[in-house]
Structure 1
Amino acid sequence: MTIRWAYNTNGLTSHRLDDALEMLADHGYAGVALTLDVAHHDPFAPDLAARTATLAERLRDLELGSVVETGARFLLDPRRKHHPTLVSADASDRARRIDFLRLCVDVAADLGSEAVSFWAGVLAPELDADDAWKHLVHGVATVAEHARRRGVTVAVEPEPGMLVDDLDDWTSLQSEVPDITLALDTGHCIVSGRWEPAAAVRAFAGHLGAVAVEDMPRGVHDHRAPGEGDMDLGAVVGALRHVGHRGLVSLELSRDSHRADRLVPEAIATLRALENGEEDT
């Protein structure tokens, strides 16, 4: 099987979105992980429906699939990174995050995206962990129900340092909200998880809604280009082929927009070389 590689637009913020999409298509990517943000397809700018329809047509013309990412840093609050979240202390803040995620689901439905990916958030210090978990379950269930009505797959991503930190936390959440899938960033596995990346792909293959494979140093949450960290990317590629994963597999290099002109072609060349060097098992 051939893996369908994608690239996250949060690593292309120095490019206009249309230029970025054309570059991805020209270099043979199968899709894009679209982070809705101030730089690219701002969901709070005017004429969202019309802009989304135009974008959907452009993706079709370029033969690019998509997943919608929701990790914009300052989209909801210009002064506080990633605020608010599903586990913020204030109920109105949590409601704002839920409304945003439902809007992202609507964009994904109109684009025909494969999934919407989101995370839990960092536990507010003034919240009890048990109360925060209840808020999280409520928020995720609300978003998942909206997604079910819109025919969209929702994928919750374990993020180092957040309330859903690793795959075991995701398993606990999925036991309470069975409709969710897993947004697996294999790099995160070597930061805070108890799972090695390739083993995680194999163990959770039936739950994968979105996958990212950028490199990271072991124990450090620092997204890096292939070959610049400690992850055994070849083993991950082999595992993805072994389980027959057919969804998009993206690179999230949000700190590297300044060198996207080099990384976009170099990254897919590296990934293809690893893919071609693997034998089916």
Structure 2
Amino acid sequence: MYFKIGYISNGFQNHDIFDMIKIITKLGFNGLGLTLDVCHYNPFKDSERSLKRIKRNLKGNNIDTVIETGARFLLNPWEKHEPTLVSNEETDRTKRIDFLKKAVDVAEFLEANVVTIFSGKIYENVRKEEAFGWLTNGVSEITEYAKMKNIKIGFEPEPLMLIETLEQYYLLRKEIKYDNFGLTLDIGHVQCSEDQSIHDCIISHQNEIFNIHLTDIKNKKHIHLPLGEGDINFLDVFKALKEIKYANIVNLELSRNSHNAPSVANQSMIFIKEILKQIEGTE
């Protein structure tokens, strides 16, 4: 396979980041999605010294990295994921933009090649057209900043947000004039929101995909489940990734399983190895 298997740090919220790196390395993972948050690395409070130590640990264990920005309460301790790029106050949108620029700076320092971003939910009193304009302006500013640092921006469609489907992603894509803007494809979100099969989505949108999130989904409900506990055919998923020669990280996103992270990570790796073995056996 061309890609690496990683784990997003929001699935290890009860672990020190350095313990997490040790655990996932021992289990056979070679990628990390570093969620900038209070528990692992807070770009507003933690020191450059801490970031240097993270980099040494990643390099020493041959772990590639992408940066994730889905911290629930980092910017607002009262409201999940707020503020966003579609918040109705300009000062709030600016706060999100400044955070995302910090994420780009962290990516540059850690030699991560992708930063994942998302749109956010719109307020009831905001017109979609107005929110889309705010989103376009914010994404353009962030992507331009990232381009100067040779960092890619992977945009993640998310259920119940302004941009939740791939069709909506392409409406935004048309407005962003930078080649370092692409797609973070969450396999679980595809299962929830798309009519096309996951395999066909991967094939159809292969030229846009910068980053992959992996989770299982049951009955199209947006609840991230460990692999094998939902309805997704992961054999088809990994066959598609092989077909397109996907070469970045496939990161598991299991933020609801921090309480049993080591065992779930271990089970996930066993599951993935079995899938990859099946693919190799059909060649």
Quickly name the TM-score band, shorter chain normalised.
over 0.9
Aligned to 1:256: 257
Aligned to 2:132: 133
Aligned to 1:9: 9
Determine the C-alpha separation between the residues in 2 that align with 1:63 and 1:106.
Answer: 21
Aligned to 1:270: 271
Regions of 4+ moved over 6 Å: none
Shift of 1:158: 0.3
Aligned residues between the structures: 280
User: What secondary structure sits across from 1:34 in the alignment?
Assistant: strand
Determine the C-alpha separation between the residues in 1 that align with 2:139 and 2:195.
Answer: 24
Deviations 1:99-152 (A, max 9, x none): 000100000010001210011000121211100000000000000000001111
- Pair 45,30 (structure 1): closer, same or farther in 2 beyond 3 Å: same
Q: How does 1:183-262 map to 2 (within 5 A)?
A: 183-262=184-263
Deviations 1:202-231 (A, max 9, x none): 111111111012101132000000001111
Aligned to 1:67: 66
User: What secondary structure sits across from 2:235 in the alignment?
Assistant: helix
Q: Please give the root-mean-square deviation of Cα atoms over the aligned residues, in Å.
A: 1.2
- Pair 46,21 (structure 1): closer, same or farther in 2 beyond 3 Å: closer
% identical equivalent positions:
32
**Structure 1 stretch displaced more, 96-105 or 186-195:** 186-195
Q: How does 1:68-147 map to 2 (within 5 A)?
A: 68-147=67-146
Letter in 2 for 1:196: S
Deviations 1:75-106 (A, max 9, x none): 00001111100000001000000000010000
Letter in 1 for 2:272: L
Shift of 1:267: 0.2
Letter in 2 for 1:14: N
Determine the C-alpha separation between the residues in 2 that align with 1:154 and 1:72.
Answer: 17
Shift of 1:2: 4.7
Determine the C-alpha separation between the residues in 2 that align with 1:97 and 1:231.
Answer: 33
Structure 2 residue runs without a partner (length 5+)? none
Shift of 1:3: 3.5
Determine the C-alpha separation between the residues in 2 that align with 1:71 and 1:213.
Answer: 15
8 Å Cα contact 1:187-1:197 kept in structure 2: no
8 Å Cα contact 1:190-1:218 kept in structure 2: no
8 Å Cα contact 2:2-2:245 kept in structure 1: no
- Pair 241,136 (structure 1): closer, same or farther in 2 beyond 3 Å: same
User: What secondary structure sits across from 1:133 in the alignment?
Assistant: helix
Determine the C-alpha separation between the residues in 2 that align with 1:258 and 1:229.
Answer: 20
Determine the C-alpha separation between the residues in 1 that align with 2:86 and 2:112.
Answer: 26
